[in-house]
C-alpha cells in the first residue's frame, strides 16, 4: 500500500499505481454485495476493489444501499468497512438503520465497522489560497487501517462540492480519491444525488467507470414502485432491465425472494385434495407435496370451494396453511364455505389457518411478494393458497406480474410448500393463463362451464398433472351443502351430458331398466302360472289313472275270488258225486 | 526535510516563548489594553499533511501575518496529520492546510496556503482588531 501522491507528486503517484497489484486485474473479481438479489442480477456482486456509484433521487434508498452493503459485508462476508458519512453522525447512522436490524453499534465496538462523520460547512470556511483535500485522505486511510477495511462507503461525496468553491480542484481530488481507493483495493460504494440531465448532479459518473447503479422510485397507477437498474458494469454481463426492489424489514432486496433456479428438492409424498373423487382422478392419492397446483376457471365455477377443501384437508392433517385472499374478505370466505359444509373457522381459531387479506392495488407487486414472504417465514405453512392470483393482473404490467408469479412459485417450491393458485380465466376459455405461468404448474385443474338446454353445469378436467397417472375424464362438478362432489358425466351415444340432461337421461335409463325388470317378472309369473296349470292337469290325469287302476284291480280281484269259489264248489260237487279226478281236470 | 523540521519545531515552540514573556510583563505593567490583549491568547492550530512545499509556504505566510497583526500574542500549534491522523476527525479537517482558531472564541476555520492575506484577516476576524489597534 502506498500513500497517494499529491497532485504535485504526480509522477510518484503514477509509479505507485503501476506497481499496485490490483491496478489492472485480468478478470474482474466480484464480491457479494449484501443486497439480496443484486448478486444474481450482476452475476456475482459488486466489482471487488473498485468503486461503485449508486445514484438516485431523494429517498430512493442510496444511503441504505451503502450502509447495508457495508454492514452485511462486515457481518456476513468478513469484510470490515468504513463509512464516510457526510450527512449523518455515527450515532445517527446507527440509530437510523437500527430498525433494519443492522447492529452498527456492535460492529463499531467490535472494530468491524468505522463510521467517520465528515462535516462540511461552507459558512465556517474561508479559503485563503491553494489547498487540497489531503485531510480527507488521511482520515480515510487512518480509518481503513484502524479496522482493516475491505469496503468503504462514501455517503454522499458530492457534499464536498457545497463545502468548497474551487470546483476544478475538487474534481481533481475526486479523481484522485477514486484512484486511491482502487489502488488500495477497496470495494467502495459512492452515493450521489441524481442530476437533472446527468446521472448525478456533479457528474461523478465520469470518474467511476466500473459500476453504476441507478435507484428510482416511480408511481404508476397510484402505486409507488422502487426500481433498480445497473446502468453500467464494465467487463461483465449484467441484467439491463429495471428491477423492482423493496425496502423491507431487512433492508433492500432487489429480488425479494432469492432466485432459486431449478435446483429445489422434490417430494414423492402425496397430499389429499380434500375431494375424494379428485384424489381418484389424480392417481388415487392427490397432489404431490410441494407441487404447484393451478385451478383455473371462469367466474363462479367453484375455484374457492376446491381450494377450501384442500385447506380443510391440510389442516385436518395438522398442517399449517396460509390463505391469501385477494378479492374476498376472510369472513365472507368463512361464511360461504360454511354454507357448503366446509368449516374453516375452527382452523382459524386453532391458528393453523392464517388468512392474509389484501387488495392487489393496496401495494406494489413487490410489496405483496415481500409480505407473503414474511408471512411464510413466520407461519411456516405446509400449504399456501392464493385466491386468485389473476387479480394481480389488474395492478401491474403483464410482465411484472409474470415475473412476480414466477418468483413466488419458485420461492414456495424451494421451501417444499404445496401451492394452490386459483386463476380466473376469461370466458373465451382459452386454456392458457394471461400471465403465462401455465408452464410452471405441476398440476392444472380446469373448471369449466358447460352450457346446454338452458342451464350451466360445471365440469372439471385434469389438464395436466406431472409425474402421476391421472384421469383423462371429465367429471361433473356438483356443489352440495355437504361439500363438493364429482359425478361421472353421462357419456353415451348422445355425447357428454351434464346437469338435468344427465339426470333426465339417467332417469330414463333407470326407467328402462325398471321396465325390463317388470317385463321379466311378468314373464316369470306367467310361466309359473302355466307350470301350475300343467301340474294341475298332470295331477288330475294321475288321479284318473289311479282310479282306473284301482277299479281294474278290484275287477281282477273279484274275478279271481269268483274263480276260486267256483273251483271250490266243483271240488265239493265231485266229492259229493264220487267222480274221479280226471273229470275235474278235464273241466275247462 | 531538515529545514522544514527545524522550522516546524521552532515555530511550534518559539512563538509560545515569545508570547509568554510579554504576557507576564503585561500583567506587571497593568495597562488596560495590554491586560485585555494578554487575556486574548490567540491559540491557532495549523493542520498540515506532511512537510510539503505548500505546508511550508502556509506556515511561513501565517507566521508573517501573525507577527504583523498579533505580535507576541499568538501561539501556533502545528499538527501533522501524517503523524497524527486521528486528530483530523476532532476538528473535522478535510482540506489542508487548515488553520483552526481555537481561541478567542468562536472557533474559526480557514483553509489554504494563506497567500491571500486579506482573506486570512477576514477569516480570522483580524481586520477589525487590526484597525482598532491602529
How many angstroms away from the CA of B122 is the closest CA of chain A?
8
Q: What pLDDT does residue A388 have? A: 86
Counts of helices then strands in chain A (DSSP H, E): 16, 25
Cβ atoms A152, A81 nearer than 8 A: yes
Provide the sign of the torsion angle of the four alpha carbons A259, A263, A264, A270, taken in this order.
positive
Question: Would the CB atoms of B112 and A131 count as touching at under 8 Å?
Answer: yes
Is A521 a residue whose pLDDT tops 90? yes
Residue A158 C-alpha cell reads as 458530492
Higher pLDDT, B15 or A58: A58
Domain extents for chain A? 51-124+131-215, 270-488, 495-588
Higher pLDDT, A529 or A364: A529
Average pLDDT, chain B: 71
Question: If you average pLDDT over residues A298-303, what whole number do you get?
Answer: 82
Q: What pLDDT does residue A548 have? A: 94
Nearest to A124 among B85, B109, B117 (CB): B109
Q: What pLDDT does residue B32 have? A: 40
DSSP-derived pairing of the beta strands A292-297 and A443-452: parallel
**Residue A77 CB-half CA count within 13 A:** 22
Tell me the percentage of chain A whose pLDDT exceeds 90. 27
Range from A12-21, A197-206, A426-435, A555-564 that averages highest in pLDDT: A555-564
Residue of A nearest to B100 (CA): A125
Range from A52-66, A256-270, A475-489, A495-509 that averages highest in pLDDT: A52-66
Rounded Cα distance between A128 and A140, Å, is 25
Interchain contact A90–B (C-beta under 8 A): no
Q: Which residues of B touch A12 (CB under 8 A)?
A: none
State which H helix or E strand residue A487 sits in.
strand A483-488
Distance (Å) of CA A83 to CA A100, A188, A251, B42: 17, 10, 17, 35
Residue of A nearest to B110 (CA): A126
Cβ atoms B26, B37 nearer than 8 A: yes
Question: If you average pLDDT over residues A434-460, what whole number do you get?
Answer: 79
Q: How confident is the model at residue A52 (pLDDT cuts 50, 70, 90)?
A: very high
Q: How confident is the model at residue A249 (pLDDT cuts 50, 70, 90)?
A: confident
Is A311 a residue whose pLDDT tops 50? yes
Q: What pLDDT does residue A4 have? A: 46
How many angstroms away from the CA of B36 is the closest CA of chain A?
26
Cβ neighbours, 10 Å, residue A535: 10
In this predicted model, what pLDDT tens digit does every residue of A129-182 receive, in sequence order?
888 888 889 999 999 999 999 999 998 888 888 888 888 888 999 999 999 999
State in Å, rounded, how far the first CA of chain B is from the last one. 39
What architecture is the A51-124+131-215 domain classified under in CATH?
A: 3-Layer(aba) Sandwich (3.40)
DSSP-derived pairing of the beta strands A383-387 and A321-325: parallel
Rounded Cα distance between A416 and A384, Å, is 11
Q: What pLDDT does residue B39 have? A: 55
Residue A384 C-alpha cell reads as 399456501
Task: Kindly give, in sequence order, each residue whose CB lies less than 8 Å from that of residue A230, ignoring residues fewer than 6 positions away.
Answer: A41, A42, A211, A212, A213, A214, A238, A239, A240
CA-based angle A460:A462:A467, to the nearest 5? 160
Interchain contact A116–B (C-beta under 8 A): yes
Query: What is the three-class DSSP state of A114?
Result: strand
Q: Which residues of B touch A142 (CB under 8 A)?
A: 85-86, 88
Looking at the DSSP bridge assignments, the partners of residue A439 are none
CA dihedral A406, A409, A415, A417 (to 10 degrees): 180
Q: Which of B102, B107, B118, B20 is nearest to B61 (CA)?
A: B118
Task: Kindly give, in sequence order, each residue whose CB lies less than 8 Å from that of residue B67, ignoring residues fewer than 6 positions away.
Answer: none
How many angstroms away from the CA of B54 is the closest CA of chain A?
8
Rounded Cα distance between A217 and A245, Å, is 9
Cβ atoms A227, A249 nearer than 8 A: no
Q: How confident is the model at residue A261 (pLDDT cuts 50, 70, 90)?
A: low
Is A535 a residue whose pLDDT tops 80? yes
Cβ atoms A139, B85 nearer than 8 A: yes
Question: If you average pLDDT over residues A8-25, what whole number do you get?
Answer: 44
DSSP-derived pairing of the beta strands A125-127 and B108-111: parallel
Whether the domain at A51-124+131-215 and the domain at A270-488 fall into the same CATH topology = yes
Rounded Cα distance between A567 and A588, Å, is 11
Question: If you average pLDDT over residues A108-136, what whole number do you get?
Answer: 85
Rounded Cα distance between A478 and A296, Å, is 16
Question: If you average pLDDT over residues A55-59, what whole number do you get?
Answer: 87
Provide the sign of the torsion angle of the four alpha carbons B64, B68, B71, B75, taken in this order.
negative
Q: Which of A404, A112, A354 is nearest to A244 (CA)?
A: A404
Q: Is A574 left (phi over 0), alpha (psi -120 to 50) or beta?
A: alpha
Q: How confident is the model at residue A122 (pLDDT cuts 50, 70, 90)?
A: low
DSSP-assigned letter for residue A111: T
Residue A463 C-alpha cell reads as 389438464
Tell me the percentage of chain B whose pLDDT exceeds 90. 11
Interchain contact A123–B (C-beta under 8 A): no
In this predicted model, what pLDDT tens digit does every residue of A272-299 receive, in sequence order?
888 888 888 888 888 888 889 998 888 8
DSSP-assigned letter for residue A564: H
Burial of A259 (0-12, 13-18, 19+ CB in 10 A): middle
Tell me the percentage of chain B whose pLDDT exceeds 70. 64
Question: Would the CB atoms of A127 and B97 count as touching at under 8 Å?
Answer: no
Question: If you average pLDDT over residues A80-109, what whole number do you get?
Answer: 89
Interchain contact A138–B (C-beta under 8 A): yes
* Cα B81 → chain centroid: 17
Question: If you average pLDDT over residues A567-583, what whole number do you get?
Answer: 77
Query: What is the three-class DSSP state of A126?
Result: strand
Residue A448 C-alpha cell reads as 369449466
Rounded Cα distance between A70 and A253, Å, is 15
Q: Which domains does chain B have, with CATH numbers?
A: 2-133 (3.40.30.10)
Task: Kindly give, in sequence order, each residue whose CB lies less than 8 Å from that of residue B90, ignoring residues fewer than 6 positions away.
Answer: none
Q: Which of A326, A320, A368, A325 is nearest to A348 (CA)?
A: A320
Q: What pLDDT does residue A465 have? A: 85
Query: What is the three-class DSSP state of B36?
Result: helix
Q: Which of residues 201-240 of A touch B (CB under 8 A)?
A: none
Question: Would the CB atoms of A129 and B58 count as touching at under 8 Å?
Answer: yes
Average pLDDT, chain A: 82
Q: Which of A343-352, B93-102, B116-125 has the lowest mean pLDDT?
A: B116-125
Rounded Cα distance between A79 and A67, Å, is 13
Rounded Cα distance between A410 and A256, Å, is 12
Rounded Cα distance between A394 and A364, Å, is 11
Q: Which residues of A touch B98 (CB under 8 A)?
A: 131, 135
Angle between helix B53-69 and B126-133 (nearest 10): 40
Is A431 a residue whose pLDDT tops 50? yes
Residue B51 C-alpha cell reads as 512537510
Q: Which residues of B touch A139 (CB under 8 A)?
A: 85, 88-89, 93-94
Question: Would the CB atoms of A131 and B97 count as touching at under 8 Å?
Answer: yes
In this predicted model, what pLDDT tens digit does every residue of A357-416 receive, in sequence order?
888 877 777 778 877 877 887 888 999 999 888 888 776 667 777 877 887 888 888 888
Is A257 a residue whose pLDDT tops 50? no
Is A39 a residue whose pLDDT tops 70? yes
In this predicted model, what pLDDT tens digit does every residue of A71-92 receive, in sequence order?
999 998 899 999 999 988 888 8
Cβ atoms A461, A448 nearer than 8 A: yes
Is A124 a residue whose pLDDT tops 90? no
User: What DSSP string runs through A303-317?
Assistant: HHHHHHHHHHHHHHT
Q: What is the CATH number of domain A270-488?
A: 3.40.50.300
Residue A524 C-alpha cell reads as 316369470
Residue A199 C-alpha cell reads as 446521472
Cβ atoms A243, A40 nearer than 8 A: no
How many angstroms away from the CA of A24 is the closest CA of chain B?
28
Distance (Å) of CA B49 to CA A148, B87, B115: 22, 11, 18
Amino acid at each position: 500500500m502506498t500513500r497517494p501522491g499529491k497532485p504535485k507528486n504526480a509522477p510518484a503517484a503514477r509509479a505507485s499505481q503501476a506497481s499496485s497489484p490490483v491496478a489492472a486485474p485480468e478478470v474482474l473479481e466480484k464480491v457479494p454485495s449484501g443486497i439480496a438479489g443484486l448478486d444474481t442480477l450482476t452475476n456475482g456482486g459488486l466489482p471487488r476493489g473498485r468503486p461503485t456509484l449508486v445514484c438516485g433521487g431523494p429517498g430512493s434508498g442510496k444511503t441504505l444501499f451503502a450502509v447495508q452493503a457495508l454492514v452485511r459485508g462486515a457481518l456476513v462476508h468478513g469484510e470490515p468497512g468504513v463509512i464516510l458519512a457526510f450527512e449523518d453522525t455515527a450515532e445517527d447512522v446507527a440509530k437510523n438503520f437500527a430498525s433494519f436490524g443492522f447492529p452498527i453499534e456492535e460492529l463499531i465496538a467490535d472494530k468491524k465497522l468505522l463510521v467517520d462523520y465528515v462535516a462540511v460547512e461552507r459558512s465556517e470556511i474561508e479559503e485563503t489560497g491553494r489547498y487540497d483535500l489531503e485531510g480527507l485522505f488521511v482520515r480515510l486511510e487512518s480509518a481503513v487501517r484502524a479496522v482493516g477495511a475491505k469496503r468503504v462507503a462514501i455517503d454522499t461525496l458530492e457534499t464536498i462540492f457545497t463545502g468548497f468553491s474551487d470546483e476544478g480542484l475538487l474534481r481533481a481530488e475526486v479523481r484522485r480519491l477514486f484512484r486511491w481507493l482502487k489502488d488500495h483495493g477497496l470495494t467502495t460504494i459512492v452515493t450521489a444525488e441524481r442530476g437533472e440531465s446527468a446521472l448525478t448532479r456533479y457528474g461523478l459518473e465520469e470518474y467511476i467507470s466500473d459500476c453504476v447503479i441507478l435507484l428510482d422510485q416511480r408511481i404508476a397507477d397510484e402505486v409507488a414502485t422502487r426500481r433498480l437498474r445497473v446502468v453500467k458494469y464494465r467487463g461483465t454481463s449484467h441484467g439491463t432491465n429495471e428491477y423492482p426492489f423493496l425496502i423491507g424489514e431487512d433492508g433492500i432486496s432487489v429480488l425479494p425472494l432469492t432466485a432459486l433456479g431449478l435446483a429445489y428438492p422434490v417430494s414423492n409424498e402425496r397430499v389429499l385434495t380434500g375431494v375424494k373423487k379428485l384424489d381418484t382422478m389424480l392417481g388415487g392419492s392427490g397432489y404431490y407435496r410441494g407441487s404447484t397446483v393451478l385451478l383455473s376457471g371462469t367466474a363462479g365455477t367453484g375455484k374457492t370451494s376446491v381450494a377450501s377443501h384442500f385447506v380443510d384437508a391440510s389442516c385436518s392433517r395438522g398442517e399449517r396453511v396460509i390463505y391469501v385472499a385477494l378479492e374476498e374478505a376472510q369472513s365472507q370466505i368463512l361464511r360461504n364455505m360454511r354454507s357448503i359444509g366446509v368449516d374453516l373457522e375452527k382452523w382459524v381459531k386453532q391458528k393453523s389457518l392464517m388468512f392474509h387479506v389484501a387488495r392487489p392495488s393496496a401495494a406494489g407487486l413487490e410489496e405483496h411478494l415481500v409480505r407473503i414472504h414474511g408471512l411464510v417465514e413466520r407461519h411456516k405453512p405446509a400449504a399456501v393458497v392464493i385466491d386468485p392470483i389473476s387479480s394481480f393482473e389488474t395492478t401491474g404490467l403483464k410482465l411484472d406480474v409474470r415475473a412476480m408469479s414466477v418468483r413466488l412459485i419458485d420461492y414456495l417450491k424451494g421451501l417444499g410448500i404445496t401451492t394452490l393458485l386459483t386463476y380466473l380465466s376469461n370466458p373465451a376459455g382459452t386454456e392458457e393463463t394471461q400471465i403465462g405461468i401455465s408452464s410452471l404448474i405441476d398440476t392444472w385443474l380446469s373448471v369449466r362451464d358447460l352450457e346446454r338446454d338452458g342451464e350451466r353445469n360445471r365440469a372439471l378436467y385434469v389438464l395436466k398433472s406431472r409425474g402421476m397417472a391421472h384421469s383423462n375424464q371429465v367429471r361433473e362438478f356438483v356443489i352440495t351443502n355437504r361439500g363438493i362432489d364429482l359425478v361421472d358425466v353421462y357419456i353415451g351415444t348422445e355425447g357428454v351430458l351434464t346437469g338435468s340432461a344427465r339426470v333426465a337421461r339417467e332417469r330414463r335409463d333407470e326407467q328402462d331398466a325398471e321396465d325390463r325388470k317388470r317385463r321379466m317378472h311378468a314373464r316369470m309369473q306367467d310361466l309359473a302360472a302355466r307350470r301350475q296349470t300343467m301340474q294341475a292337469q298332470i295331477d288330475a290325469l294321475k288321479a284318473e289313472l289311479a282310479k282306473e287302476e284301482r277299479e281294474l284291480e278290484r275287477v281282477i280281484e273279484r274275478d279271481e275270488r269268483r274263480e276260486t269259489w267256483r273251483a271250490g264248489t266243483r271240488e265239493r260237487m265231485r266229492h259229493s258225486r264220487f267222480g274221479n279226478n280226471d273229470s275235474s281236470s278235464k273241466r275247462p | 526535510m531538515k529545514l522544514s523540521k527545524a522550522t516546524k519545531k521552532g515555530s511550534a515552540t518559539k512563538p509560545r516563548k515569545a508570547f509568554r514573556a510579554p504576557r507576564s510583563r503585561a500583567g506587571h505593567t497593568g495597562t488596560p489594553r495590554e491586560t485585555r490583549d494578554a487575556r486574548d491568547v490567540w491559540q491557532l492550530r495549523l493542520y498540515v499533511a506532511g512537510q510539503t512545499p505548500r505546508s511550508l509556504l502556509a506556515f511561513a505566510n501565517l507566521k508573517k501575518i501573525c507577527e504583523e497583526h498579533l505580535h507576541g500574542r499568538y501561539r501556533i500549534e502545528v499538527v501533522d496529520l501524517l503523524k497524527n491522523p486521528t486528530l483530523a476527525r476532532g476538528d473535522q479537517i478535510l482540506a489542508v492546510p487548515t488553520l483552526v482558531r481555537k481561541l478567542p472564541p468562536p472557533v474559526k476555520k480557514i483553509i489554504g496556503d494563506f497567500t491571500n492575506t486579506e482573506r486570512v484577516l477576514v477569516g480570522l476576524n483580524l481586520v477589525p482588531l487590526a484597525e482598532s489597534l491602529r
